[in-house]
Amino acid sequence: MPARGSGAVDLKVGPLHAHDTFSRRGAADIAKTHKEDTLDHTRVIHEGAAMNKIEILTGAGISAESGLGTFRDENGLWAQHRIEDVATPEGFDANPKLVHDFYNMRRAESTKASPNSAHDALAQLQKAFRGEVILVTQNVDDLHERAGAETMHMHGALAGSLCAACGARWPSSLLTQPEDPCPSCARPTTRPDIVWFGEMPYQMDEIYAHLGDCDLFAAIGTSGEVYPAAGFVQHANASGADTIELNLEPSSTVSHFAQTRFGPAAQTVPAWVSELTSG
């Protein structure tokens, strides 16, 4: 089950500098500056330079365009609950029924949503790109999979259940409750297989290994405020990878990216993928 300790999921802005702050009004200027000062990675591909691995991180913004709410939305499921009550181990210990009910509602919401053109484009990129495309998501829905992509869920998945006692995992039913017995140890200690704040994300060694040897790192629909994912761009930069942020608006870590594209993911992602796979 998710471990606690350093490197756990944390909601805060990381080690940025004073010059990293800016207004939304400056997004266009930032994007223009990055594009002028940086060699376009799509042109590098088309001119024959080696591009063997792309690592992509997706966040809530890509699923929001399919109708799924984020915890920053003013309305929706997250607005009705404190994060501490439904997305921490302490919250689960205090009121497991509330947590089960919350994730039952999230599963129901997720099943009604459909992949959008950004999900479809990333699945197509995995199929069409001549190298390797590693897709990592902070999202717990299955929209990437339903679009046909292979995905690493660093924060777990709504489709899974986890035993808080023995660590066994199994596919979740749409409705769960605290009394549900673990199929392995039979104890009534079922919880969602979700990485909560204060717990270690899944597959971090593998994710960091890919960051260490990818040629291009892209962050799509992320806020840059949830760590450790918000720090991935610094790791990619340190390894010499090109970097790009595709977002509705600038993230908290936008200044660390070599290139930026702003707008709805359903528009920017298909256009970007088309550039990567054309020619």
| Three-state DSSP class for residue 9 | coil
Each as own residue / partner, the long-range contacts of residues 28-31 (CB below 8 Å, 24 or more positions apart, any chain) are 28/262, 30/250, 30/254, 30/255, 30/260, 31/259, 31/260, 31/261, 31/262
Neighbours of 109 (CB within 10 A): 16
d(CA 205, CA 26): 36
Bridge-based pairing state of the strands 152-153 and 132-137? parallel
CB 197 within 8 A of CB 167: no
Amino acid sitting at position 224: G
CB 134 within 8 A of CB 53: yes
CA-closest candidate to residue 138, choices 75, 64, 80, 249 = 64
Active-site pick, 100, 153, 155, 256:
155
CA-closest candidate to residue 236, choices 257, 201, 212, 220 = 212
Place of tokens 């799924």: 68
Residue 6 is encoded by which pair of tokens?
């350093």
Strand partners, 54: 133, 216
**C-alpha R_g of the chain:** 19
CB 215 within 8 A of CB 206: no
What letter would DSSP give residue 4?
B
144 is known as an active-site residue:
no
Residues belonging to the active site = 155
